Amino acid sequence: MLEAIASTTLLDDVFMEDETTNSLETLISSLTGHPAALLVLSGTMGNQIALRTHLGGPPHTILTDNRSHILEWEAGGAASLCGALVKGVVPKNGHHLTLQDVVKNAVLDDDVHSCPTRVISLENTLSGTIMPLEECQKIAKWARAQDPPVLLHLDGARLWEAVAAGAGTLKEYCAAFDSVSLCFSKGLGAPIGSMIVGTPAFIKRARHIRKSIGGGLRQAGVVTAPARVAVEETFLGGKLTQSHKNARLIASMWQKMGGKLAEPTETNMVWLDLEAADTTKEEFIAMALKHGIKTGGGRLVVHYQIGDEGINKLEGLMREVLHMETGSEEGTIKGVERNVVERMKVNVE
């Protein structure tokens, strides 16, 4: 990727002059089956530009999973940038939204007290779990049959993972949506960047909105050159499947030691149920550092470059969390050495 950056073109993407960027947009269009694509700087920017492009003026509602990124992790962007009400729906099956969930919660009437549903935003993968292709297709068929049609956006930041897991092809998934946001960092490993795809008319308006929120780049090749390497070598090169195997191995290790999972391991994420292990997130983070592991808690995201050394360290951490000694003056208290606790007592006294 560094070589690609060093040899890239340095022309202006605001005026669509950069060959490297144009070439990547063409590649992603081809892979997804959508006729046009647009570079954005992040998944959040991609989602927000896509939603704002679809939506006209308020009142309007975006229907989404209650755990979704656009609702929980994008700083309220749909409200501030789109003036939209975001309605989070709890999946009845506890795994993914179904057509039944959507129909039950969508607002389609013209009652002046209502805020009509104009966009359904789905996410795949969500917490590492896969939304089945068949369910996406069912929702799309229903949404397009409404008058006016309800538009569909896919937060596909990690869609690559669902495809690598064999849940469907990239084109099959993307065909069910009016727009899709795809991330080049995260599992693919590029330093920055995402891309949204849709119709030429959609991308024309999205390009205008991207400019209005400061997303236009002058020397875009330094972003798109490594992004293309990530797509070609990591996704098309088949490297994601190893991270899925490692994730299943890590989940299995934890469960064999008596640990429980908070979410099923379907792609590259492992969710350790720390509460069931009688361990707080802060305690887990402190214990992890002792084993040379930096983590934000029980959510483990496995990258294809994580190998045996990292997994072995993680195994040691798991043993400490699930089989720690207690009730002994010589033992440990939640991973904190007894003599450290004694020193703390001295300092307090």
- Domain positions in the chain are 2-235, 240-340
Rounded Cα gap, residues 229 and 231, in angstroms: 6
* pLDDT over 50 at 333, yes or no: no
2-235: what fold?
Answer: Aspartate Aminotransferase; domain 2 (3.40.640)
Which whole number is the average pLDDT over 17-27?
Answer: 95
Phi and psi dihedrals of 140, rounded to 5? -65, -45
* pLDDT over 50 at 40, yes or no: yes
Cα–Cα nearest to 173, from 32, 28, 51: 32
Mean pLDDT over each residue of the chain, to the nearest integer: 91
Phi and psi dihedrals of 294, rounded to 5? -100, 120
H or E element, residue 47: helix 43-54
Long-range (24+ apart) CB contacts under 8 A made by 309-317 are: 311/246, 311/249, 311/250, 311/253, 314/250, 314/253, 315/253, 316/291, 317/287, 317/288, 317/291, 317/293
Whether 192 contacts 186, CB under 8 Å: no
Q: What pLDDT was estimated at residue 324? A: 55
> Per-residue pLDDT tens for 263-308?
999 999 999 999 999 999 999 999 999 999 999 999 999 998 898 9
Q: What is the gyration radius of the CA atoms in the chain, in angstroms?
A: 23
Q: Tokens 């205008």 identify what position? A: 208
* pLDDT over 50 at 325, yes or no: no
* Amino acid type, 108: L
With pLDDT > 90 as the criterion, what percentage of the chain qualifies?
84
pTM of structure: 0.86
Measured CA angle at 188 (ends 26, 241), to 5 deg: 115
CA-to-CA dists, residue 108 to 60, 115, 116, angstroms: 11, 9, 6
pLDDT category of residue 252 using cuts at 50, 70 and 90: very high
Rounded Cα gap, residues 25 and 32, in angstroms: 11
> Per-residue pLDDT tens for 131-179?
999 999 999 999 999 999 999 999 999 999 999 999 999 999 999 999 9
Tally: H helices and E strands in the chain: 15, 12
Q: What pLDDT was estimated at residue 346? A: 32
> Per-residue pLDDT tens for 105-139?
999 998 889 999 999 999 999 999 999 999 999 99
Burial category of 2 from C-beta neighbours within 10 Å (exposed 0-12, middle 13-18, buried 19 and up)? exposed
Question: What is 127-180 written as a DSSP string?
Answer: TTBPPPHHHHHHHHHHHHTSSSPPEEEEEETTHHHHHHTTS--HHHHHHT-SEE
Q: What pLDDT was estimated at residue 337? A: 41
Rounded Cα gap, residues 272 and 94, in angstroms: 17
Strand duo 117-123 + 61-65: pairing: parallel
Q: What pLDDT was estimated at residue 211? A: 92
Q: What CATH number is given for 240-340 in this structure?
A: 3.90.1150.10
* Amino acid type, 34: H
Q: Find how far residue 197's CA is from the centre of its chain.
A: 17
Instruction: Check residue 126 and report its DSSP letter.
Output: B
Phi and psi dihedrals of 276, rounded to 5? -65, -25
